Amino acid sequence: MADSLKADTRSKRGKGVRRRVEPSSAVPGNWQEFLRINDNKTELFSFLASNVADIDTNKHLITTQGTGVLCSNRQDVSALAPCTREEADTLILLHLQDAVQQGYSKVSIRTVDTDVVVLAIASANRLNISELWIAFGAGKELQVHRCSMRSPKSWS
């Protein structure tokens, strides 16, 4: 989103080099510099989204591409589109709610944002999710947590 607060913040971080993102492109040597350019980031996200949606798996991988929503296995993603949210917090919660509406009770979330962890746990209890896995962190600090869900009736 060109007129967003995040885009403005990124533009103040300095200059980077515009690079095309294609299957044959080399991986950027300096990710911070690469991600300073909004077009680089937009093209990278679009490339990753379309490739994730093409993964042949028995799992449902859902991602956004621009305002569109792509899914590896499921055809109907109309409840999620159009996607106009830039913040991951609300977008992930929307996907969580949709997963429950599609009949899933076990979900996995990958994030580096503590806000997403707190909101996901609170929402999982409200949505009656039986099993919530959260992969939190990055690199060597990545930790996977199984969050135990209890029904509100069992709270004391």
Give 89-105 pLDDT, tens digit per residue: 888 888 888 888 888 88
Q: How far apart are CA 63 and CA 46, in angstroms?
A: 10
Q: Judge whether 4 lies within some domain.
A: no
At 38-63, the pLDDT tens digits run 889 889 988 998 888 888 888 778 88
Q: What is the token pair recorded at 38?
A: 């909004």
Domain for residue 130, yes or no?
yes
State the Cα–Cα distance between residues 105 and 120, nearest whole angstrom.
13
d(CA 101, CA 80): 11
Domain-located, residue 67: no
Amino acid 91: pLDDT: 84
Given this model, what pLDDT does residue 115 score?
A: 92
Give yes or no for a contact between 82 and 67, defined as CB atoms under 8 angstroms apart.
yes
Q: Domain for residue 140, yes or no?
A: yes
Residue 51 within a domain: no
For the chain, the domain total comes to 1
Q: Is residue 134 part of a domain?
A: yes
pLDDT value for 142: 94
**pLDDT given for residue 67 in this prediction:** 86
Tell me the residue range of the domain where 143 lies: 87-156
Is the Cβ–Cβ distance between 147 and 124 less than 8 Å?
Answer: yes
13 CB-near residues (< 8 Å, 6+ apart)? 36
* pTM over the 0.85 mark: no
**Residue 92 forms part of a structural domain:** yes
Selected residue with higher pLDDT from 13 and 86: 86
In a domain, 109, yes or no: yes
pLDDT band at 144 (very low <50, low <70, confident <90, very high): very high
pLDDT at position 146: 94
- Answer for the pair 86, 107: CB distance below 8 angstroms, yes or no: no
